[in-house]
Amino acid sequence: MVRANQVLHRIVPGLMLMVIFWGSKLFLKELIPYMLEHSAQDHSRRRRLILLYKSFFTLQVSLTTALYLAIYFNRFHSHPNSRAQAASIQNILNRSIIYQAADARGSPLRCTICKHQIIPVRGRHCLDCGRCVYGFDHHCVWFAQCITITGTLKPFVQVLVLGTGTILTGVIPAIPVVAQHLQRVIALTWTAGSTGDTLRRIWWTRWWGWAGGPVYRYVGGIVLGYIYYPEIKLRHPTPPPPADQENWGNKTRKSILNEPRLSALILVVAATMILLVMVAMLAIVVKNNILNGLSTLEIERARQSHRWSRDDAGITLWVPPRDGQHDSGKVVRVPPGIPIFDHGPWANFCLIMGDQVWHWFVPWKLGHTPPDGVEWPISDHWLSYLRSLDKYNDDDHTDHH
């Protein structure tokens, strides 16, 4: 059976690259020449600033695209030393580290799909990728890849930061131009005078102009205003520009920004919506996940348990004995939403992004997450909490059903 994400893998990345291509083309081939033509010919400083702004945008979009493709082609997937990973798995078999348990006896949790491969804590089998992923955070259709705490979470955050900056750089100078065009369209096509006859006849006085409510009505009026603007303008020529604008370049180059175009409005609106989504995603990932020491998987498990009010929700862990103690350790049931890998906001941030400020700006791994995604650091506070929990019993678990 084909999963929805597997279909989206073939669609979303292509759409993302199309947005990057057309957005960059609009900025570099239309907006920058428009800004240069509409700057005073003798204002060399302003022209240099525009060219510097162009270089800044080019650098941002290049870095964003490179990072996006690197995640898409799985270039940041951690490839731990086979001996080191084998040693970590052996620690699970020796019961010397914390791991996911399948039962009260402490048997390691194994994947029923991947030939009974051991699934360590913070690991999961991804049905979209068809493999077990250590350090699993979430599967992202934007990149057609799993985002992992050990490998791709850091460059994922960097793509969001760079993408936000790139869109802001491209949209900020375009908004005044498009807003001015929108005012011209509304002033010419929505007027109570003769220039507004066309829209009154086909939209404002018709029942379908009210069919979808006020938002639908005015959005439809804007779209139709742009469509009929050239025709109405030919019938009702506008006055010449003010005298102080007559010497703004030669304006002989054809551009979609010289006159109101619906395509320019759509691109700016789409870019603004993508910008808002990226800012929201960045805030959620940093605030809810990184600073709290939680993965998206752990957060979703907690939400589902609260939604369904399941008493048996949570994760079953083997907790080894204290050093120097002769007890045999125990299996415990950890309630959902307990951040057992939390080390405090700053330590959690450095764990992913790196200790030094310059570490935050390079995509390769400089944090302290385990390269094999098996043996995760845990604070003494949370280790004491785990040892204070009651011993897990299969019979108690069965009684809930």
Over the stretch 218-233, which tens digit does the pLDDT of each residue have?
999 999 999 999 999 9
Distance CA 60, CA 72 (A): 18
Over the stretch 272-313, which tens digit does the pLDDT of each residue have?
999 999 999 999 999 999 999 999 999 998 888 877 766 567
User: Mean of the pLDDT values across residues 40-55?
Assistant: 84
**Given pLDDT bands bounded at 50, 70 and 90, which one contains residue 41?**
low
User: Mean of the pLDDT values across residues 111-133?
Assistant: 90
Q: Mean pLDDT over all residues of the chain? A: 87
Torsion, Cα 16 18 24 30, to 10 degrees, reads: -140
**343 in Cβ contact with 379 (< 8 Å):** yes
User: Mean of the pLDDT values across residues 114-137?
Assistant: 91
pLDDT, position 242: 52
Question: Does the structure show a pLDDT above 60 at 240?
Answer: no
Over the stretch 90-104, which tens digit does the pLDDT of each residue have?
999 999 999 999 999
pTM to 2 decimal places? 0.87
Over the stretch 316-328, which tens digit does the pLDDT of each residue have?
999 998 875 656 8
Count of Cβ atoms closer than 10 Å to residue 76 Cβ: 21
CA pseudo-torsion sign 138, 314, 343, 379 = negative
**327 in Cβ contact with 313 (< 8 Å):** no
